[in-house]
Amino acid sequence: MRFMQHSPQPLFEHAADQPIALRSGCAITANTFLHHALALASELPERHYGINLCEDRYHFLIGFAAILLKGQTNLLPPSHSAKTIQSIAQRYDDCYCLLDHDFSELHLPQHRFSVPEVTAADVLAQDVPAHDIPRIPYQHIACIPFTSGSTGTPNPNPKTWGRLLKVTKLIQHAFAIANDQPLTIVATVPPQHMYGLETSILLPLVSGSCMYSGRPFYPEDVRQALGSIDGAKILITTPIHLRACVQAGLSFPAVDFIISATAPLPVELAEQAEQAFSSKVLEIYGCTEFGSLANRRTAAGDPWRLFDGLWLSEDQAGGDFLVNADFLDAPVALSDQIEILPRQRFRLLGRKTDMINIAGKRASMADLNLKLLAIPGIKDGVIFYPEEKADTVTRVAAFVVAPELTPQQILQELKQHFDAAFLPRPIFQVSELPREKSGKLPRKNLLTLWKQMSQQPIQPLKQSTAD
């Protein structure tokens, strides 16, 4: 894919009869996909924005393309809660919701659609010559994803079609995905999330590969999805899904490689996942403000390596670290503190908002959480600070999913790794953490859980009283 003077860019790179999606066991060609997208585009309301809430990944792909073909912009909320979507709609009042399922709680203009089931015998579209593939203006705002709101209010990050393609091509090059390589991409992450959008929607479009339409959630779902695919395949996932797969003890079909993102991946978990899937586990580092920008092989202890064509700099005045690229109008500030190394490499030192101060001592929340999750028997967990006064955190708490451990046992384990100032009190045992579909844990979700637990101290969920 060449970028000549910001000229319009094709919607996809596939040949007319090349598979672009795998749905219900049937390969859907680029011709059929284009037929579906053009048909939907002709039906869409005359608005500027479409909030793309489609849950089936192929439906999301059709919707994403149809909105572009209509000259509109995809709005991608960080979660599918009615409250979050309503707040986005208030900012972009000339919008409607694009759905492939019922959402009665949502009181906004809606356009519901479905596509016919495709079978191997179906001929749903006329042949479309390659030169008839639609082209999207380079500077068109293709989508507006929002930050997850992990530490505050979700913020919009408009992306032009040209910039989306530029970053996705960097991903393709970093993972050596050739345009003529038959490859199916299976993802456990939602397409509305920036990581999921780049890897499971845009990467197939720019590389000519095939996307699996489902979103497997449980380990058995992942096993069945991978087992249903012949030939080369990769898995796009998160640490929380990898942990569940490792703990399930299933025999997974081999994959070419695995990509993980959305949260730090512990080295031990990466090693276990490589054994479980007989493959390499690679991590992506990125942010909604820029997109993906670096990768590493975690089990090998590699530092992060920037994608080709990117470079880092430091804003001496503001203290920010900046990612630079020739296709950016201006450098993008990162929310992390980093150590810049030679040869396009760097180390993450933690988020600026990640450091907490208790009794004059400082610690990284990310480091505390990695140590918590390393305790055998903890299936999921998070260290959390419910209250802050000035620049000091008064005390941290913990929510853990650990059916076979008591809070006292967890506390004894943590005492071997934590300074006493950072030992969580209380420790709440819960059945699950309030994660978003992307695997992230927004602070507002944890605050809600904290309030619920604090108001109901006498309950089966045990609270540690250990000092």
Within a domain: 419? yes
Q: Under 8 Å CB-to-CB from 77, ≥6 apart: which residues?
A: 51, 53, 84, 85, 88, 146, 154, 192
Verify that 154 and 104 share a domain, yes or no: yes
Verify that 331 and 400 share a domain, yes or no: no
Specify burial of residue 129 (Cβ count, 10 A radius: 0-12, 13-18, 19+). Answer: exposed
Verify that 182 and 309 share a domain, yes or no: yes
Verify that 23 and 84 share a domain, yes or no: yes
Domain termination site, one of 349, 370, 392:
349
Q: Which amino acid is at 388?
A: E
Within a domain: 238? yes
Instruction: Catalogue the long-range contacts made by 344-349 (C-beta closer than 8 Å, 24 or more residues apart).
Output: 344/305, 344/306, 344/308, 344/310, 344/311, 345/303, 345/304, 345/305, 345/306, 346/294, 346/303, 346/304, 346/306, 346/312, 347/303, 347/304, 348/264, 348/285, 348/304
Verify that 182 and 230 share a domain, yes or no: yes
Q: Is there a contact between 53 and 27 (Cβ–Cβ < 8 Å)?
A: no
Domain termination site, one of 349, 371, 398:
349
Question: Residue 53, CB half-sphere, CA atoms under 13 Å: how many?
Answer: 26
Within a domain: 466? no
pLDDT tens for the chain, 467 residues long, are 444 458 999 999 999 889 999 998 889 999 999 999 999 999 999 999 999 999 999 999 999 999 999 999 999 998 888 888 999 999 999 999 999 999 988 889 999 998 877 655 444 444 545 558 999 999 999 999 998 655 556 789 999 999 999 999 999 999 999 997 899 999 999 999 999 999 999 999 999 999 999 999 999 999 999 999 999 999 999 998 999 999 999 999 999 999 999 888 889 999 999 999 999 999 999 998 999 999 999 999 889 999 999 999 988 776 789 999 999 989 999 988 889 999 999 998 877 667 777 766 677 787 788 888 888 888 888 988 877 555 555 688 899 999 989 988 999 888 888 878 888 888 999 999 988 877 778 788 888 888 888 765 433 333 333 33
Verify that 391 and 326 share a domain, yes or no: no
Verify that 250 and 361 share a domain, yes or no: no
Within a domain: 463? no
376: domain CATH number is 3.30.300.30
Verify that 298 and 156 share a domain, yes or no: yes
Token code pair at residue 207: 């590389």
Verify that 141 and 238 share a domain, yes or no: yes
Within a domain: 461? no
Token code pair at residue 165: 């393609």
Q: Is there a contact between 326 and 309 (Cβ–Cβ < 8 Å)?
A: yes
Shortest CA distance to 190 belongs to which of 54, 37, 23, 21?
A: 54
Verify that 101 and 242 share a domain, yes or no: yes
Token code pair at residue 331: 């450098």
- Residues present in the chain in total: 467
Verify that 361 and 345 share a domain, yes or no: no
Domain hosting 432: range is 355-455
180 phi/psi in degrees, rounded to 5: -100, 15
Verify that 301 and 339 share a domain, yes or no: yes
Within a domain: 255? yes
Domain termination site, one of 349, 375, 399:
349
